[in-house]
A and B are shown apart, each in its own frame.
Chain A
Amino acid sequence: MINGMNIGIIMFLVGLFGMMTNKNIIKIIMSLTVAENGVLVFFISLGYVIGGQSPIITGDVTNPVDPLPQAMMITMIVINLCLTALALTIAAWIYHKYHTLNVEDIIDDRL
Chain B
Amino acid sequence: MIDYEPVLIVITPVIAASIISFLLPFLKTEKLQEIPKYIALTALALPLFYLIYLAPQISSSALEYRMGGWTAPYAINLVIDSFSYIFLLTASLITTLAFVFSMRDEKKSKGKFSFFFLLMVAGIYGVFLSGDLFNIYVFFELCVITSYILVTLGDQTRSLKAAFTYLILGSIASLFFLIGIGLLYLNTGALNIAHLSSLVSRLDTTVQIVVFIFLFGAVAVKAAIPPFHTWLVDAHSTAPSSVSAVLSGITVKIGLYIFLRVFSLGFGLQGITNLLLVLGVCAALGGVLFAIFEYDIKRLLAYHTISQMGFIVVGLGTFTAIGVAGGIYHIVNHAVFKGLLFLCAGSIIYRTGTKDIRKHGIGTTMPITLLTYLIAAFAISGITPFSGSVSKSMIEASISNYRLVGFLLTVTCIGTVTTFSKILYYSFIKTLKKDGVKQRFQEVPFGMQLSMTILAFFCIVLGVLPHLWLDTVIVPATSSITGGYSQISPQFFEPLGIVKEWILVGLGILFLLVVIKQRENVDKIRRKIKELHLNLKIVLMMGALTVIFLFFRVLH
Point out residues on A near B: beta carbons under 8 Å: 5, 9, 12, 16, 19-23, 25, 28, 32, 35-36, 39, 42-43, 46, 68-69, 72, 75-76, 79, 82-83, 86-87, 90-91, 93-94, 97, 103-104, 106-111
* Other 18 A-B pairs with CB < 8 A, given A72-B134, A79-B141, A87-B164: A19-B535, A20-B535, A20-B538, A20-B539, A39-B175, A43-B178, A43-B182, A46-B185, A69-B182, A83-B167, A86-B145, A86-B167, A97-B157, A103-B534, A107-B531, A108-B158, A108-B161, A111-B356
**Does B356 lie within 8 Å of A16, measured CB to CB?**
no
Chain B residues lying within 8 Å of A75, measured Cβ to Cβ, are 134, 138
CA distance in complex: A50, B163 (Å): 43
30 residue pairs bridging A and B, Cβ less than 8 Å apart: A5-B186, A12-B175, A16-B542, A19-B538, A20-B538, A22-B535, A23-B535, A35-B172, A39-B178, A39-B179, A42-B179, A43-B178, A46-B182, A46-B185, A68-B185, A76-B178, A82-B141, A82-B145, A83-B171, A86-B149, A90-B160, A90-B163, A90-B164, A91-B164, A97-B156, A107-B530, A108-B161, A109-B530, A110-B158, A111-B356
Please tell me if B443 contacts chain A, counting CB pairs below 8 Å: no
How many residue pairs at the A-B interface have CB separations less than 8 Å? 96
**Does B538 lie within 8 Å of A16, measured CB to CB?**
yes
**Does A90 lie within 8 Å of B533, measured CB to CB?**
no
7 smallest beta-carbon distances between A and B, as pairs? A103-B534, A111-B356, A79-B141, A20-B538, A108-B158, A94-B160, A90-B164
- How many Å from the CB of A91 to the closest CB on chain B? 7
Please tell me if B148 contacts chain A, counting CB pairs below 8 Å: yes
Chain B residues lying within 8 Å of A32, measured Cβ to Cβ, are 168, 171-172
Chain B residues lying within 8 Å of A94, measured Cβ to Cβ, are 160-161, 164
Please tell me if B428 contacts chain A, counting CB pairs below 8 Å: no
State which residues 505-535 of B face A: CB under 8 Å.
527, 530-531, 533-535
- How many Å from the CB of A13 to the closest CB on chain B? 10
Chain B residues lying within 8 Å of A82, measured Cβ to Cβ, are 141, 145
Smallest CB-CB separation from B536: which chain A residue?
Answer: A20
Smallest CB-CB separation from A95: which chain B residue?
Answer: B160
Smallest CB-CB separation from B74: which chain A residue?
Answer: A68
**Does A35 lie within 8 Å of B538, measured CB to CB?**
no
Chain B residues lying within 8 Å of A9, measured Cβ to Cβ, are 179
Interface class of chain A by DSSP: helix
CA distance in complex: A63, B83 (Å): 41
CA distance in complex: A97, B134 (Å): 37
Smallest CB-CB separation from A72: which chain B residue?
Answer: B134
Known: A46-B182, A108-B158. A90 touches B167 (CB 8 A): yes
Chain A residues lying within 8 Å of B149, measured Cβ to Cβ, are 86
Chain A residues lying within 8 Å of B156, measured Cβ to Cβ, are 97
CA distance in complex: A103, B533 (Å): 7
- How many Å from the CB of A78 to the closest CB on chain B? 9
Smallest CB-CB separation from A108: which chain B residue?
Answer: B158
Chain A residues lying within 8 Å of B539, measured Cβ to Cβ, are 20
Please tell me if B296 contacts chain A, counting CB pairs below 8 Å: yes
Smallest CB-CB separation from A42: which chain B residue?
Answer: B182
Smallest CB-CB separation from B297: which chain A residue?
Answer: A111
CA distance in complex: A42, B177 (Å): 13
CA distance in complex: A28, B182 (Å): 25
Smallest CB-CB separation from B158: which chain A residue?
Answer: A108
CA distance in complex: A8, B204 (Å): 23
CA distance in complex: A109, B296 (Å): 11
Q: Mark B129-167, 1 if CB is under 8 A from A, else 0.
A: 000001000100100010011001000111011011001
**Does A106 lie within 8 Å of B175, measured CB to CB?**
no
- How many Å from the CB of B53 to the closest CB on chain A? 31
Chain A residues lying within 8 Å of B538, measured Cβ to Cβ, are 16, 19-20
CA distance in complex: A48, B178 (Å): 18
Please tell me if B295 contacts chain A, counting CB pairs below 8 Å: yes
Of B160, B161, B175, B533, which is within 8 A of A35 by CB? Answer: B175
**Does A28 lie within 8 Å of B145, measured CB to CB?**
no
CA distance in complex: A14, B19 (Å): 42
CA distance in complex: A91, B134 (Å): 29
Please tell me if B355 contacts chain A, counting CB pairs below 8 Å: yes
CA distance in complex: A12, B178 (Å): 11
- How many Å from the CB of B276 to the closest CB on chain A? 25
Which one of B134, B156, B295 has the highest number of Cβ atoms from chain A below 10 Å of its Cβ?
Answer: B134
